[in-house]
């Protein structure tokens, strides 16, 4: 079926363009837990889009909120102006956040949220007389989007090597992935709390007086689902406190029910100083990102400024865009009214059981899970890293299930509206295709 004349002009993101265009997969519709493919098939969404459609697709409450907003107030500047929904979303988010978060900065993506958070951290340190703290610390295998800041603190070599030296003064702690000790763990791995001490190594190397902030994903997603070892995030918090380093949790994928709560910070019982988020905030319908900031940070930056002074010289044309705000308010209502975070908690045991049933399938060297996140790591084909998983992805798509693969790891994150039967079908499809795979 000819659906489009020419695929050549769209430079697709994070895509092997020539490979894709030789055999395109197009989505033309979405409803509930399913996409419709261009050849008219129903595809079970095992990835909530790209970790963002937590309430499933096409919810009429979200759709009509966006439609009404665009007809009422299509755009309003947020520089020296405002519109009511922006203040309301900020207030709703602070109610969902861990206690003590009282300011929200808006943008349009996770990447922008990360770069905004890093700038806020630098500006805060400077405001409290710690202007020598200019270093930003990330973690190996971290993903923090594609801005220069996020790319720099990110720890995925494939996303860095094309772009030169990136930001100066960035360093990385070690990642926590350890198949030798933790393979096939259900939930949080037992081993690895000591890896948090790697931050002490960087303090010893650079001196704490040069370090502004540490940014980590509570659960690393893009790099292949890395679940934090027991006690690890707690220990990072302690070390940051000891040395005056701000702790940033990048919750672009872990917020809004993905791990059964509004934020992973709550699930792990660790309160960072700054939280970045995006994606599920509008159920993926309209681009939006946000930076949530703990009480005291804004105040420290405002203190002592002359009257009328701008506290932060930063912002986007689309910060708190009215359509994004309308989508966010409707989405947060759906999460609450349909109790979707609680639903995720209720599904977690079934999810874990069905996922780990794949442990004995061919090529599988690890299975890991938390909340409604699942990782299945495959042994790479010798000399062809990523090829086996990519083939599994295309096979599953043909078989009616959308999965996501990164290197040789399958990363699953279905909508929180997924039915137990659909979880079982997702896993049996993956299992069958693994059997068929060389
Ligand atoms: N931080 C984290 C932790 C993310 O997961 C971003 C920042 C950047 O967000 P934006 O909205 O700028 O893309 C992300 C995004 C995948 C995948 O397949 C994950 C993301 C994006 C695209 C694909 O795992 N995460
Ligand atoms: N480039 C130019 C020439 C601009 O005028 C602006 C915003 O006014 C930008 C970039 C930044 O765009 P945005 O605010 O959408 O990030």
Sequence spans of domains, the chain: 17-55+339-436, 64-337
Assess if CATH 3.90.1150.10 describes domain 17-55+339-436: yes
Other Cβ atoms within 10 Å of 186 Cβ, number: 15
Name the residue with the closest Cα to ligand 2, atom 4: 317
| CA atoms of 137 and 202, how far apart (whole Å) | 9
> Given this model, what pLDDT does residue 405 score?
98
**How do residues 60-118 score in pLDDT, each as one tens digit?**
999 999 999 999 999 999 999 999 999 999 999 999 999 999 999 999 999 999 999 99
**How do residues 273-326 score in pLDDT, each as one tens digit?**
999 999 999 999 999 999 999 999 999 999 999 999 999 999 999 999 999 999
Ligand nearest to the CA of 403: 1
CB 199 within 8 A of CB 172: no
| CA atoms of 378 and 361, how far apart (whole Å) | 10
Shortest-distance atom of ligand 2 to CA 112 = 16
Assess if CATH 3.40.640.10 describes domain 64-337: yes
Enumerate residues lining ligand 1, CB below 6 A.
50-51, 109-111, 114, 143-145, 217, 221-222, 250, 252-253, 278, 404, 406, 411
**How do residues 237-271 score in pLDDT, each as one tens digit?**
999 999 999 999 999 999 999 999 999 999 999 99
Ligand nearest to the CA of 112: 1
Q: Which residues contact 242 (CB under 8 A, 6 or more apart)?
A: none
Q: Across all residues in the chain, what is the average pLDDT?
A: 97
> Given this model, what pLDDT does residue 2 score?
55
DSSP letters, 311-336, are: S-----TTTT-HHHHHHHHHHHHHHH
Coil vs helix vs strand at 10: coil
Residue 222 is given by DSSP the state: T
* CA 219 to mean position of chain CA atoms: 9
> Given this model, what pLDDT does residue 122 score?
98
| 17 CB within 6 A, ligand 2 | no
**How do residues 332-386 score in pLDDT, each as one tens digit?**
999 999 999 999 999 999 999 999 999 999 999 999 999 999 999 999 999 999 9
- Find the angle CA(136)-CA(140)-CA(146) to the nearest 5 degrees: 65
| 315 CB within 6 A, ligand 2 | no
- Distances in Å between the Cα of 91 and the Cα atoms of 144, 272, 341 are 25, 19, 19
pTM for this prediction: 0.97
**How do residues 388-425 score in pLDDT, each as one tens digit?**
999 999 999 999 999 999 999 999 999 999 999 999 99
| CA atoms of 226 and 215, how far apart (whole Å) | 15
Q: Please determine, for residue 3, whether its predicted confidence score (pLDDT) is greater than 80.
A: no
Q: Can you read off the two tokens belonging to residue 109?
A: 């993506």
Shortest-distance atom of ligand 1 to CA 142 = 3
Shortest-distance atom of ligand 1 to CA 114 = 7
């Amino acid at each position: 079926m000819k659906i489009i004349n020419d695929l050549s002009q769209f430079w697709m993101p994070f895509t092997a363009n020539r490979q894709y265009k030789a055999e395109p997969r197009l989505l033309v519709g979405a409803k509930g837990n399913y996409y419709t493919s261009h050849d008219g098939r129903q595809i079970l969404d095992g990835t909530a889009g790209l970790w963002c459609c937590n309430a499933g697709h096409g919810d009429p409450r979200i759709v009509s909120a966006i439609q009404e907003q665009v007809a009422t107030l299509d755009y309003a500047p947020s520089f020296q102006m405002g519109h009511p929904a922006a203040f309301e979303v900020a207030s709703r988010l602070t109610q969902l956040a861990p206690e003590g978060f009282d300011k929200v900065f808006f943008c349009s993506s996770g990447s922008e949220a990360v770069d905004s958070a890093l700038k806020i951290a630098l500006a805060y340190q400077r405001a409290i007389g710690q202007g020598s703290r200019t270093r930003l610390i990330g973690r190996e295998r971290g993903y923090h989007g594609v801005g220069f800041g996020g790319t720099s603190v990110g720890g995925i070599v494939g996303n860095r090597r094309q772009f030169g030296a990136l930001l100066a003064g960035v360093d990385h702690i070690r990642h926590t992935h350890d198949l030798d000790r933790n393979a096939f763990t259900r939930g949080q791995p037992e081993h690895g709390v000591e890896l948090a001490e790697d931050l002490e190594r960087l303090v010893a190397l650079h001196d704490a007086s040069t370090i502004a902030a540490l940014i980590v994903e509570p659960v690393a997603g893009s790099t292949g689902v890395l679940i934090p070892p027991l006690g690890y995030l707690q220990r990072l918090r302690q070390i940051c406190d000891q040395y005056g380093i701000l702790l940033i949790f990048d919750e672009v994928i872990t917020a809004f029910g993905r791990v059964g709560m509004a934020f992973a910070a709550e699930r792990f019982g660790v309160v960072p100083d700054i939280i970045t988020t995006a994606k599920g905030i509008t159920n993926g319908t309209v681009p939006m990102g946000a930076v949530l900031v703990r009480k005291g940070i804004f105040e420290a930056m405002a203190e002592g400024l002359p009257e009328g002074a701008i506290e932060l010289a930063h912002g986007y044309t689309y910060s708190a865009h009215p359509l994004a705000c309308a989508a966010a308010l409707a989405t947060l209502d759906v999460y609450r009214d349909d109790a979707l975070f609680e639903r995720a908690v209720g599904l977690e045991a079934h999810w874990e059981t069905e996922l780990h049933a794949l442990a004995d399938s061919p090529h599988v060297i690890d299975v890991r899970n938390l909340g409604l996140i699942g990782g299945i790591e495959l042994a790479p084909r010798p000399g062809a890293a990523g090829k086996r998983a990519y083939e599994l992805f295309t096979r599953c798509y043909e078989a009616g299930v959308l999965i996501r693969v990164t290197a040789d790891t399958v990363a699953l994150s279905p909508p929180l509206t997924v039915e137990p039967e659909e979880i079982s079908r997702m896993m049996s499809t993956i299992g069958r295709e693994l059997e068929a795979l060389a």
